[in-house]
Amino acid sequence: MTLPTPAPAVTRPAPPARRSATWAQLIRFALVGAVNTGTYYAFYLALLDGAGLPYVVAHVIAFVLSMIGSFFLNSWFTYRTRPTLRKFLLFPLTNAANFVITTGGVYVLVDLLGMDDTYAPLVAAAAAIPITFVVSRTIMTRPDGRSTEAPTHPVRG
């Protein structure tokens, strides 16, 4: 006697409301990215031309300042969550992910696919948005691990 094979597990797509909320977050994330890029560039030029700092120093300072601004904008505007020290300390991982993806993407686009190096960074940056969004969303929406709320079940002694 042969037993019937169980049907494969069916994964259901996310409910429309959750998908809609995720798309809204992705759009807000991209908007924050645009503001962040403009902020970085404004700081960079002010430090380079206005303050006369060497370009590497201007870049590092502008990068750190814009990353701090990006953290708070993403906390309050994109994910509508409370900024915490844990999230602040983990947030640079989003920039690390973006750096790895865009650097590898530029290499592939220019050296392997022959794309013009003027436009390759823009294409690589656009390709990095979904992955960077997932990393950012994971960091920013994950609970901190310590709940300040009372337990919902009775404590047994």
pLDDT for residue 18 is more than 90: no
Looking at residue 54, its pLDDT comes to: 92
Judge contact between 70 and 77, C-beta under 8 A: no
Q: Which amino acid is at 45?
A: L
Confidence class of residue 147 from pLDDT cuts 50, 70 and 90?
very low
pLDDT tens for 84-126 read 999 999 999 988 988 899 889 889 999 999 998 888 888 888 8
Torsion of CA 73, 78, 80, 81, to 10 degrees: -70
CA distance 103 to 19: 30
Looking at residue 35, its pLDDT comes to: 93
Looking at residue 139, its pLDDT comes to: 93
Residues of the chain with pLDDT > 70, as a percent, come to 80
Looking at residue 42, its pLDDT comes to: 93
Looking at residue 102, its pLDDT comes to: 86
Looking at residue 98, its pLDDT comes to: 86
Backbone angles phi, psi at 6, to 5 degrees: -65, 145
Vertex 74: Cα angle to 66 and 85 (nearest 5): 85
Alpha helices in 1-157 (DSSP H): 16-45, 55-73, 85-90, 92-107, 120-141
Q: Is the pTM of this model over 0.85?
A: no
Looking at residue 1, its pLDDT comes to: 59
pLDDT tens for 50-78 read 999 999 888 889 989 999 999 999 999 99
Q: Which amino acid is at 38?
A: G
Judge contact between 120 and 106, C-beta under 8 A: yes
Confidence class of residue 12 from pLDDT cuts 50, 70 and 90?
low
Judge contact between 31 and 73, C-beta under 8 A: no
